[in-house]
Structure 1
Amino acid sequence: MRTRHGWTLAAALALLAVACREEPPSPPTEEPPVRWDVVEPGEVLSGGEAGTVTHSGAQAFAQALPALTLERRSGFVSGRGVFEIDWVPAPASSSRADRDGLGPLFHAVACISCHPANGRAAPPDEPGSTGEALLVRLSIPGTASNGGPLPEPTYGDQLQPKGIPGVPAEAQVVVRHTSRTSTFADGETFTLQVPEYVLEAPAHGPFHPDTMLSPRLAQPLHGLGLLAAVPEEKVLEWADPDDANGDGISGRPNRVWSVRQGKQVLGRFGWKANQPDLEQQNAGAFLGDMGLTTPLFSEQPCTLAEQACGDAPSGGAPEVESHRLAALTFYTHVAAVPARRDVDAPRVLQGKAIFHRVGCAGCHRPTLTTGTLEGYPELAGQTLRPYTDLLLHDLGEELADGRPDFEASGREWRTAPLWGIGLTATVNGHTRLLHDGRARSLMEAILWHGGEAEASREAVRQLSKEEREALLTFLESL
């Protein structure tokens, strides 16, 4: 039988069957590999549109957010005034009564002593010397009622190497170094300084035999408010405590005690993410570093063995009034981040690609996005490039201090932000890095990494000299 167009019915049905047959699925296409040797949109703006300043001089870390209104900029100036106060013992003369209360035991006389130009002071260089910049945390095995470290019973939770007249300093920390030399794969040698910390001249008898100590340098202050504005769910999203994805990286959040909220919350700040927010970090520094009480910490931490400390005069109750604590807290929230330099230079782009290839970005995540933070509308909705995940990572036994801090183990450290790290020498005149300043350069800091970062460290050791130099050029551009 033929159709009116001359087709047989069989032929027509065959044609229909071909037309209706499903096409075979296309083979899956592979995602093109991400290229890191190119400039990304907005990459120069480390602190986002609202938080980046094009300042690369000695005051690069001490600039206000450009998005601040004129009125709020005056708050930045007021907070800087508190940051720069040289505190004096009580009672002071009438001309200095507004800044008395230092001690009785203390580490420094001003915030700026340990954070010069909002940066980091250097550790002592001379063999066997001590220095104002290096403080020592103390604790013994066990947990305090708030879940934090248990203070050493005679000397408390932080060594105080200074005292006001009539109050003896607790002890002195002496740093000694030995050298260790090794080689890169191409045969070039490098030397690391291995520090040893010894507590000498204790004023009230020996330390507890199980005392754990952790030396710390102050961290730079730029961009802290922007990190405070990163949503908690984003930080927790990156946590992988059991390394479920098998990449060898198992970042964990720290949960710490918030005095203001009266509960355990996410830790964000400090070398072990042991502070929940900038107000508490500032109040803790006032008390621990300068012996100044605040509305958040109203009691001096004098132990039962330190009678002279307990009997010393007070500078008021509290010694740092609420408006001054608030001013400093505002100041530390609105310090801007310096812009990247030379982002399109071929050597920088080569080093950036190497940074990703060897796995550094697994912990030093390049980008974060802020949410909202009450009282700081300028910080909202910013795309940041801080190179951190704000999580704890095991960096191996060689960097371990052996001292737990809330949920952080003695081998874990929060990923330090890298933004601005290339300006350390410009701002502070040195390149000492890591929690105790043992690394004298960026390369030494890399070579100290172990634990979760061991594979990345070994990959760096296998690089050619030209590749190593490109990697450092990239880091210096941050």
Structure 2
Amino acid sequence: MRNSTHRRWTKANRFVALSVAALAATQTLAAELQDLHLNFEPRTEDERLRVARATAAPSDFSSSQKFEELSAGAATVRALKDANAFSQPSGNLSFEQELDFKVGNGLFRKIWVSSPTSTLASDGLGPLYNARSCQRCHIKDGRGHTPNGPEDNAISMFLRVSIPGGEGIEEIEDYIATQPEPNYGGQMQDLALPGHPAEYRLDVTYKDVPVTLSDGETITLRKPIYTAADLGYGPLHPDAMLSPRVAPQMIGLGLLEAIPVEDLLANADPEDADGDGISGRPNIVWATEFAKPMMGRFGHKAGMPTIMEQSAAAFAGDLGISSPLYPAGHGDCTTAQIDCVSAPHGDGDDRVFEIDQTGMDLVAFYSRNLGVPKRRDVGDPQVLRGKQVFNDTGCASCHTPAFVTHRMPDRPEHSFQLIWPYSDLLLHDMGEGLADNRPEARATGREWRTPPLWGIGLTQQVSGHTQFLHDGRAQSLLEAILWHGGEAQSARDTVVTMPKPDRNALIRFLESL
């Protein structure tokens, strides 16, 4: 078992113990990347020390930590017992902000229609698309799901696509140059307006992979094989790289956006200088909104720097809806898809774009303020034992439990909150088993962003399933752990060989998040 005492729970506060040179390097990179999306006040030295104390690893696992049940600080909401648990506004919004949240929710749920139409505020769908609303993929603001069969038209899963080469972005070190697939763009759309063929149909088959645990129990993993069938626009490029994506849950995004980049970079150890086998590194991406490189925080490979850009990219790629950041009315269609590019679109009226900046601001506000439910059973003995197992096994090396957000005068709902997302938002090599072999900015084909774990125990209640990982292949939390490889291989193997009561306690802890 890895000795994790020096790294236990959080490297986000390593700035307290880092050498002067290492700290200076972290601060330099943070200054280069900047938190351009935030208006914040620099921390005082006293605040730094308070943050370090609040997020430090516990030395005693016999009781819960102070404020641990408040996963999102003052923004935490009560844990509902129905499917609406992820659809509540943050607990500390003002009355006026709750109105904005509800209007944003309306836009998030809006069913878009094709152009031309008399409903000018809702036209512009497609011509190629994956969904007619944001809510269609993020059902109940939770996770999407994999196909239940070839006739399943309600999946919230698609394939990203690209080919090697193209011009890189010189400002980003280690940027892996890729370009859209010539016929299909950057994303495969499985739906289309009348008169336009859909790009493909997603076929998924599974191969059983048995894993034997310490007590002789056998867990059968399902290894997916993806096929882009019924191609509507000719064959794929021979070098096409496909990556499956299931829609992630939406809670707590504004708080993740408000974590200081310096604190996130303090976790990074790309050369594994401390020798613990964990080499997390930031994805650095081009921010269209600011025309500068920024740290990626959102998406399965941390390919998006802000919620605004993530939302605008989803409107373009998933719905074919133009916005100020992504102004093409035809969405992800390529120049080879002539009928799509020349079809009627919904832009060019008083809105200019199919969704204007006011609409984007409201959708982004809604997305930032979906509340994180309160933790359950934090003092339960089995949960506490599972928390210790989580720590001792090394899970917390990537799933960093706690951070404190920036102090922000114009975003008080996210300002200086102690939060418990259980993620470092960094890229980690997860091994060949989970590799999609498709790079994204600095992320290689084996790297994935550590997903936040808060709310994961409510997945069944909200989404009606327990499908995890980027493509939903894991049908339980234990299966998700058993798919871990690469940097997480040691922790995964420890879970396999540990006594069953400890393994059960670990799962019980995760279910409490």
TM-score normalised by length of structure 2: 0.84
Which structure exhibits the higher relative contact order, with contacts defined as CA atoms closer than 8 Å and separated by 6 or more residues? 2
Contact 1:107–1:132 at 8 Å: present in 2 too? no
1:54 CA displacement: 3.9
1:381 matches 2:416: yes
Aligned residue for 2:165, secondary structure, equals: strand
- Report the equivalent of 1:119: 142
Verify: 1:307 aligned to 2:332, yes or no. Answer: no
Offset of 1:182 from its aligned partner?
2.1
Q: Percent identity?
A: 47
- Which structure 2 residues correspond to residues 284-433 of structure 1 after superposition, within 5 A? 284-299=313-328, 300=330, 301-316=332-347, 317-373=352-408, 375-433=410-468
In structure 2, C-alpha distance between the alignment counterparts of 1:446 and 1:260, rounded to whole Å: 36
Normalised by the size of structure 1, how large is the TM-score? 0.90
* Larger CA Rg, structure 1 vs 2: 1
Q: Which residue of 2 aligns with 1:55?
A: 80
**SS at structure 1 position matched to 2:433:** coil
Equivalent AA in structure 2 for residue 271 of structure 1 = H
Distance 2:58 2:153 in 1: 50
Find the counterpart in structure 2 of residue 239 from structure 1.
Answer: 268
**Contact 1:349 1:474 (C-alpha < 8 Å) held by counterparts:** yes
SS for the counterpart of 1:81 is helix
Q: Match of 1:442?
A: 477
The corresponding residue for 1:195 is: 224
Do the aligned partners of residues 172 and 364 (structure 1) sit closer, same or farther apart at CA in structure 2, a change above 3 Å counting?
same
**1:202-230 Cα deviation digits (max 9, x unpaired):** 12211100000000011111100000000
Tell me the amino acid that sits aligned with residue 313 of structure 1.
P
Cα distance change on mapping 1:373 and 1:153 into 2, 3 Å? farther
Aligned to 2:298: 269
Moved more, 464-473 or 423-432: 464-473
Amino acid at match of 1:309: C
Amino acid at match of 2:203: V
- Matched length: 445
Shift of 1:130: 7.1
The match for 1:66 is 91
State the one-letter code of the partner of 1:48: G
Secondary structure of 1:238 counterpart? coil
Aligned-pair CA distance for 1:131: 5.5
Q: What secondary structure, in the 3-state scheme, does the structure 2 residue paired with 1:38 have?
A: coil
| Unaligned stretches of 5+ residues in structure 1 | 1-31
Q: Is the 8 A contact 1:46 1:339 kept in 2?
A: yes
Residue 33 of structure 1: how far off its partner (Å): 8.4
Residue 422 of structure 2 aligns to a residue whose secondary structure is coil
Paired with 2:166 and 2:259, the residues of 1 have a C-alpha distance of 29
Equivalent position to 1:456, from 460, 485, 491:
491
Cα distance, 1:311 vs. partner? 1.7
In 2: Cα distance, 1:40 partner to 1:189 partner: 35
Aligned partner of 2:64 in structure 1 is 39
Give the Cα separation in 2 of the matches to 1:137 and 1:273: 14
Rounded to whole Å, the distance in 1 between the matches of 2:167 and 2:85 is 39
Opposite residue 184 of structure 2, the aligned amino acid is: Y
Offset of 1:53 from its aligned partner?
Answer: 3.4
Q: Identify the residue that residue 165 of structure 2 maps to in structure 1.
A: 142
Q: What is the correspondence of 1:98-109 to structure 2 with a 5 Å cutoff?
A: 98-109=121-132
Partners of 1:55 and 1:339 within 8 A in 2 = no
CA distance in 2, matches of 1:236, 1:33: 22
Structure 2 residue 121 is matched with structure 1 residue 86: no
Q: CA deviation at 1:350?
A: 1.0
Moved more, 286-295 or 97-106: 97-106
CA distance in structure 1 between the partners assigned to 2:509 and 2:373 by the alignment: 15
Deviates more, 1:447-456 or 1:258-267: 258-267
2:510 to 470, 475, 478: 475
Q: What secondary structure is seen at the aligned counterpart in 1 of 2:198?
A: coil
Q: Deviations over 1:292-319 (max 9, x none)?
A: 0001100133212211101210112411
Match of 1:338, SS? Answer: coil
Structure 1 residue 172 displacement after superposition: 1.5
When residues 250 and 401 of structure 1 are mapped into structure 2, their CA distance, relative to the original with a 3 A threshold, is same
In structure 2, list runs of 5 or more residues that go unmatched.
1-56, 170-174
